[in-house]
Amino acid sequence: MKFDHILVRYGELTLKSGNRNTFVNQLKSNIKYALIPLEGYKVLANRDRMYVEVTEDADVEEIMRRISKVFGVHSVSPVVKVEKEIEAIKEAAVVLAKDIDEPGKTFKVDAKRSDKGFPYETFDLQQILGGEILKHIEHLTVKVKDPDYKLLVEIRRDAAYLYSRVIKGAGGLPVGTGGKTLLMLSGGIDSPVAGIEVMRRGVTIEAIHFHSPPFTSEEAKQKVIDLTQIMAETAGEIKLHLVPFTDIQKMIHKTVPENLTMTSTRRMMMRIADQFARQIDAKALVNGENLGQVASQTLGSMYAINAVTNLPILRPLLTYDKEEIVIKAKEIGTYETSILPFEDCCTIFTPKNPKTNPRLDKVESFESKVDFDAMIETAIEGIETITLSKNNQKTESDFSDLL
């Protein structure tokens, strides 16, 4: 059957009251972005529901697939819109039921009336439509509890809508309604998933990545660009900031005992991320840390590393099992890129026996022997920024040009 509309149901934003229109408008904008460059549709929204009007030649399945991945969408359904006249509704119900006509299958009609002025009570409408379907389709039988198919009918103020499929959406809140964060993006499995998880809560992200040429390769840099591009496919435009980290990393290994180099490395990354986040007006840092997964992610290590910032640090994967993270990475499409064998600056300089419970005073003592403040400023001045969107990327030279 040819459907003329796609019904988009809101998720959590239905709980919003005074500012609901802000959330709805952002969701509408995000859906339009997700549908680029498809044609044959028009997005219509109000406080309660959103409808996508589609033409006869529109790719309805692809439109629904894309919309279902947009954060803030609870579910989508292909629907038929008809006048609120009983004969028109009966005709549409029969045509729709023919799509589910299989020998031995059961169905029920489930009607809802938001327009209480409609002349038929809900139960009466269900009986009329069920009887009409049985009269025209001999293979189907009615089953009230747990039928094989449901034909759903909504009587709203403007029209009647009929459908039989409900496709689960991404849930969460529309990206762009929760402020800006800075994602510390490595080339591994965890951090891209962490970025997607916080975007599910409505925040936008910019990403910061530390690379140390010639110890890290151009392939490793491209891997991170590709990961950012994948995240941008659903979430919208994302800026990736590439930090030249070689000099700082070499100095750490020259002045800090080997078993504390990982701690100092993470602290310097956090210091840079802290300063840069303030410059771009990000309200929190995000990373893919998972409690106890590696030496730098124990409580003792986190305490020593977090001491360099007072910005909130969001760790959406903190208590996940690795298997859960891998499943999510596969779902969002980053897994295959993340496992490419190009190492980042953390993995290539990993000490043999890193401290799992480093003493903050000792770490600070070793770091105080070097003017890391100046080196951090130089690294920030040398940041290369790349803007990635759905269909292209743009290099903005270095961050100093943007000031």
The pair of three-digit structure tokens given for residue 328, joined into one six-digit string: 């999510």
Q: Residues 6 or more apart from 116 whose CB is under 8 A from it?
A: none
Handedness of CA 295, 340, 193, 236 (dihedral sign): positive
Report the residue count for the chain: 403
User: Is 49 annotated among the ligand-binding residues?
Assistant: no
- Taking the C-alpha atoms of residue 166 and residue 82, their distance in angstroms, rounded to an integer, is 19
The pair of three-digit structure tokens given for residue 349, joined into one six-digit string: 């300089």
User: Is 184 annotated among the ligand-binding residues?
Assistant: yes
User: Is 288 annotated among the ligand-binding residues?
Assistant: yes
The pair of three-digit structure tokens given for residue 366, joined into one six-digit string: 């070793």
User: Is 185 annotated among the ligand-binding residues?
Assistant: yes
- DSSP string over 170-239: --SB-TTSS-EEEEE--SSSHHHHHHHHHHTBT-EEEEEEEE-TTTS-HHHHHHHHHHHHHHHHHH--EE
Nearest to 297 by CA among 362, 349, 346: 346
What is the Cα gyration radius of the chain? 27
User: Is 50 annotated among the ligand-binding residues?
Assistant: no
10 Å CB burial of residue 124 (0-12, 13-18, 19+) is exposed
Distance of CA 66 to the CA centre of its chain: 12
Annotated binding-site positions = 184-185, 209-210, 266, 288, 297
Annotated binding-site positions for ATP = 184-185, 209-210, 266, 288, 297
